[in-house]
Chain A
Amino acid sequence: MTSGTGGAAVRTATSAEGGAPAQQHRARRQEDPVTTTAGESTSTTGTARPGWRDRLADPGTWAELAAPVGLVVLVVLFQVLDPTFLTLGNVEAMLAAAAILVVLATGQTFTVATGGIDLAVASTMTFSAVMFGVVFGAGAPVAACIAVALVSGLLFGLVQGLIIGYGRITDFIVTIGGLSIASGLALVVSDGQPQTVISGFMLRLSTGGVGVIGYPVLVALVVAALAHVLLFHTRFGTHVLAAGGSPEAATATGISTRRVKTAVYTLSGTCAGIAGVLLVARIGAAEPAANTQFLLNAVASVVLGGVALMGGRANIAGPLFGALLLTALTNGLTLLGVSQFFQPVAVGSVVVLAAFLSRYQR
């Protein structure tokens, strides 16, 4: 059951940008006269959907699939160069290494979807981790430590969100400030000292799992799944995309962009809190490290995932694949013994390539 007008109009509309006069003209000639029945008009020119060949030829498709395709290419390449790449142990290690990044990138996706960015996301994670450590060092049970970490991240994100949403200050500036404040708070609260965390639960969290899928990976997948539902299956998610795609249209239809902005930074902070817990589990300590690499990789994952930095277009699977891609890249280069000076070049090149591809997004 098709709706609307004839198939030719669909094909011309989907295989080219906008409405060039010649194509519009063709569409008008070929379409059926408009009817007033419930949208069931038949096409005079054959199938309505663009063929898969058209899709492959369209650079827009590649742009959207950059991350998954890149990941596959990378996996094949590395496996050929070093067969230990796809061994169970290595895959398990890669997934575990990617979990924290996936959680950060997921939170970041929401802020970027509204046309903003959370530059404090890694520092918020550090702050949450340190708060875990402080409470742990005071002898509290692990559950309380986890709760404190999550709440710390949430509150920090909330404060940033309120300043950005209601204070109307640019997110870039607020989160740059937030980055310093969170790092500084982490240093102050921890007195600059790492806090060793020895806990059976945390150890199981970090080393246990289901087969090749470690618990941290499961946590990351659950976070991503929830985020996907939130973004694509709730009113809030649609409002996030609207607020990012056209704040003016959103306001005109009565959406409070302020509330949306506050909410997405709170989400990002909460994800940072979750990531903080995973980080403490992974290294067995809560320390006020800068974690700058995580920030860069989180933003890179989001870009690789086809999320527009201008806002309005987002998805969760893309950044997830982006995070996997970056982790696999580092892992493969290490396995191959590539010089430490060359690794950053490789990683940066991949990110730039992804950004270049994103220009072709439809």
Chain B
Amino acid sequence: MSSTATADPRPLGPPDPSGEVLLSARGVSLSFGSVRALKDVDLDLRAGEITAIVGDNGAGKSTFVKCVSGVYRPDAGAMTLGGESIAFADPQEARRAGIETVHQSLALVEDLAVWQNLYLNRELTKGVGPLRVLDRRAMKSGARDMVSGLSVNVPSTTARVRRLSGGQRQAVAICRAAGFSSRLVIMDEPTAALGVQETERVEALIRRLRDDGRAVLLVSHNFAQVMRLSDQVWVMRSGRCAAGRRTAETTGEEIVALITGAQSS
């Protein structure tokens, strides 16, 4: 059980041979004016794994994640997805490539039903040309499948999102992210606003995502959660990727030390 923590964050030998590197970033840098938000970030995400990015405020976690999801374009460096190099012009391109984001605000429309939210801007239609109408039945049935496929606990897919609890909404948002042949699901503080019971539920859902073969990228301040859920942890500090660890091979204290810089890498 030797610690494989080294300064070199190159791909570590996967303990599980089925976990192929899905997304890989090398030398990614981004500046906003004179502020260098990201400096030479190198890291990997594997399919079938939950990868966590942690770090103090301003360390660059959200910025990096936004580069992955197409909100920002890096000034320098390269990213590959499934071996192919990527450079997204906008989040829609990232979505089309299979990268979905669960926003912190969830991006759900309260007065629409669960199924309407799941299919938002991806509505199924029937008919031709100008007579195209919504195929509500197909969407409702598809929604039921999505929801039950991930064993998401909502009262009914026809319920308005307004009526769901925080955890249920979170689950719906995750379900949407997972539901459209996405390869990578990004989550930013998914359980920050939830109680204990609901957090458990959501975490179970996140695990199911992983078990289905997707890659999950988790940004979280909750160390206990990171230690519980993730397979791989990357620590960001001052815009750099300071260190990477296999979760099984590290401890919460070490992570904290890496974040604060008490331990360098």
- Report A-B touching, CB under 8 Å: yes
Report which A residues bind B (CB closer than 8 A): 2-5, 9-10, 13-14, 18-19, 24, 28, 31, 34-39, 229, 232-235, 237-239, 241-242, 245-246, 248-250, 252-255, 308, 312-313, 362
Question: Cβ of A245 and Cβ of B144 under 8 Å apart?
Answer: no
Report B-chain residues with C-beta under 8 Å of the C-beta of A4.
Answer: 144, 147-148, 153-157
Please give the number of chain B residues whose Cβ is less than 8 angstroms from any Cβ of chain A in the complex: 43
Instruction: State in angstroms the CA–CA spacing of A18 and B105 once bound together.
Output: 17
In the complex, what residue of chain A is closest to B92 when comparing beta carbons? A254
Question: Cβ of A242 and Cβ of B163 under 8 Å apart?
Answer: no
Report A-chain residues with C-beta under 8 Å of the C-beta of B238.
Answer: none
Question: Cβ of A14 and Cβ of B163 under 8 Å apart?
Answer: yes
Q: Does B3 contact A (CB under 8 A)?
A: no
Question: Cβ of B92 and Cβ of A35 under 8 Å apart?
Answer: no
Question: Cβ of B163 and Cβ of A238 under 8 Å apart?
Answer: no
Max chain A C-beta neighbours (<10 A), residue from B95, B132, B149, B151: B151
13 A-B residue pairings within 8 Å (CB atoms): A4-B155, A4-B156, A4-B157, A13-B159, A13-B163, A19-B164, A19-B168, A35-B148, A234-B134, A235-B123, A246-B109, A249-B105, A254-B91
Q: Does B197 contact A (CB under 8 A)?
A: yes
Distance in Å: Cβ of A249 to nearest Cβ of chain B = 4
Q: Which of B6-14, B15-23, B41-49, B110-118 contacts A (4 or more CB under 8 A)?
A: B110-118
Q: Which residues of B in the span 149-183 have a Cβ within 8 Å of any Cβ on A?
A: 149, 151, 153-157, 159-160, 162-166, 168
Q: Does B121 contact A (CB under 8 A)?
A: yes
Instruction: State in angstroms the CA–CA spacing of A202 and B172 once bound together.
Output: 54
Distance in Å: Cβ of A30 to nearest Cβ of chain B = 12
Q: A242-B120, A252-B103 are in contact. List 8 more A-B contacts (CB 8 A).
A: A14-B159, A34-B151, A233-B134, A238-B123, A242-B109, A249-B106, A250-B109, A253-B107
Q: Does B108 contact A (CB under 8 A)?
A: yes
Query: Of B91, B112, B120, B148, which one neighbours A39 at CB under 8 angstroms?
Result: B148
Question: Cβ of B165 and Cβ of A18 under 8 Å apart?
Answer: yes
Instruction: State in angstroms the CA–CA spacing of A248 and B103 once bound together.
Output: 11
Instruction: State in angstroms the CA–CA spacing of A37 and B136 once bound together.
Output: 22
Report B-chain residues with C-beta under 8 Å of the C-beta of A241.
Answer: 109, 111-112
Query: Of B95, B105, B122, B155, which one neighbours A10 at CB under 8 angstroms?
Result: B155
In the complex, what residue of chain B is closest to A19 when comparing beta carbons? B165
Question: Cβ of B109 and Cβ of A254 under 8 Å apart?
Answer: no
Question: Cβ of A235 and Cβ of B125 under 8 Å apart?
Answer: yes
Report B-chain residues with C-beta under 8 Å of the C-beta of A39.
Answer: 144-145, 147-148
Q: Does B133 contact A (CB under 8 A)?
A: yes
Q: Which residues of B in the span 195-246 have a Cβ within 8 Å of any Cβ on A?
A: 197
Report B-chain residues with C-beta under 8 Å of the C-beta of A35.
Answer: 148, 151
Question: Cβ of A9 and Cβ of B110 under 8 Å apart?
Answer: no
